[in-house]
Amino acid sequence: MSEPDHSKPTIFINPKSGSIRISGDVDFVDADGLVLRSESGVKLCGCGHSKDKPYCDGSHKEFLRSESTSPDSQA
């Protein structure tokens, strides 16, 4: 296994929570490609429950917890 190349972003998508972690520098652009802002090491929401979209605020944890205890999940 090779070492990660830190000169380019690395994306990890958590298949359970849906969160998307991007290590490295990331440019947020508009529809025309104009850079709105740049950040490093962002975690984006992929579950749709964050109150701080596009960022993950940890709300997926409560969603997963309630989903695992719902009567439908006990079947």
Contacting residues toward ligand FES, per CB under 6 A: 17-19, 45-47, 49-50, 56-60
CB of 37 to ligand FES, least distance (A): 20
Of 12, 9, 31, nearest to 21 by C-alpha is: 12
CB of 75 to ligand FES, least distance (A): 25
CB of 41 to ligand FES, least distance (A): 15
For ligand FES, which is the closer residue by CB, 6 or 11?
11
For ligand FES, which is the closer residue by CB, 24 or 58?
58
For ligand FES, which is the closer residue by CB, 24 or 64?
64
Beta strand pairing call for 35-44 and 10-13: unpaired
Residue 19 neighbours by CB distance under 10 Å: 20
Give the C-alpha separation, 64 to 16, whole Å: 8
Of 52, 61, 54, nearest to 26 by C-alpha is: 54
